[in-house]
Amino acid sequence: MKAAWFEKFGAASECIVIGELPTPVAGNGEVLVRLKSSGVNPSDVKKRAGAFPNLLDEGLVIPHSDGAGIIEAVGGGVDPSRVGERVFVYQAQFNRRLGTAAEYVSLESSRAVPLPDQASFDVGACIGIPMMTAHRCVYTDGDVNGQTILITGGAGRVGYYAIQWAKKSSARIIATASSADDETLCRSLGAEAVVNHREPGWGDTVLELTGGVKVDRVIEVEFGANLHEVMKCIRTGGTIATYSSTQVPEPRLPFRDIMFMDLTIRTVIVYAMPEHAKRSAANDISEALTNNQFQHRLTHCVPLEQTAHAHELIEQGGFGGCVVVRIA
């Protein structure tokens, strides 16, 4: 099969190789998926750059955890009727070496979720990390109907879907963004108000918008960098659900204030989600896709031969949509 892989860490242009590798075989409990699209996420780029030093200990790595395609074969214990099923896949390259930047991937049957005909394979490749992370951030503590939710980085890959999940559940949404275009986008998705997180004191602006009423929940893209402002506008007993802290990777916490406000800080990563949460997210995503309830934002689509360029796009940033590698 044709695939992209790396056998050393470093710059994408120096590490990623395109060539032929043996086609995998579906083992017990697995399905073999002929991939059409592969989603590129920041975590994929970090892995290639060397964030996990032991990743290459057992050999080369085909990157990317998310993708979409058609089941071509099944292993023992898997219903043969799944052959021919359109699916999106997730966690293809978590605790395993061979991900979705290839013509084929074999993985646990439960990680290949039916993809409704209403959704393209490119959309399917964007679901795993962004859409499931957003679902967990919004729903992990129960119903949010009637709550006020602050979503920082609302135009980003996860924030974009978080606004839509929260809107679907009738929450009141305040988002942050850093440009007029992103503000317009957040409002179009369902945000009632948008503040600029690059302006000093934006937490005070949130309180001005709510008439002094503090928010119930914060979905946070830059935990360490934004914590000071978030503390101004979150209520006692509130929850911060955070999935990233890139700018300040080891933040100092105002423990006394957090304790006396009885705040819950919930970290979210798809790989560590309980299985029941993954099933719930997958079911809700399938329903939403079937009913065309969500907008999707594909910013860049490149062929497999340009996988290194796809990684460079993620590293360069400056956009909030998804990057997809088209396999076929």
pLDDT, tens digit (0-9, with 9 covering 90-100), for 31-86: 999 999 999 999 999 999 999 999 999 999 999 999 999 999 999 999 999 999 99
CATH 3.40.50.720 fits 130-271, yes or no: yes
Q: Which CATH superfamily is domain 2-126+296-326 in?
A: Medium-chain alcohol dehydrogenases, catalytic domain (3.90.180.10)
Q: What is the pLDDT of residue 317?
A: 86
pTM higher than 0.85: yes
User: Phi, psi at residue 59, to the nearest 5°?
Assistant: 130, -170
Is there a contact between 150 and 219 (Cβ–Cβ < 8 Å)?
A: yes
Which residues in the chain show pLDDT less than 50?
A: none
Distance CA 312, CA 112 (A): 28
Torsion of CA 111, 116, 120, 122, to 10 degrees: -20
Neighbour tally for 59: CB within 10 Å: 9
Task: Using DSSP, state whether 22 is helix, strand or coil.
Answer: coil
Q: What is the DSSP code (8-state) at residue 292?
A: T
Give the whole-angstrom CA distance, residue 148 versus residue 79: 43
Which pLDDT score, from 0 to 100, does residue 3 have? Answer: 98
The domain spans of the chain are 2-126+296-326, 130-271
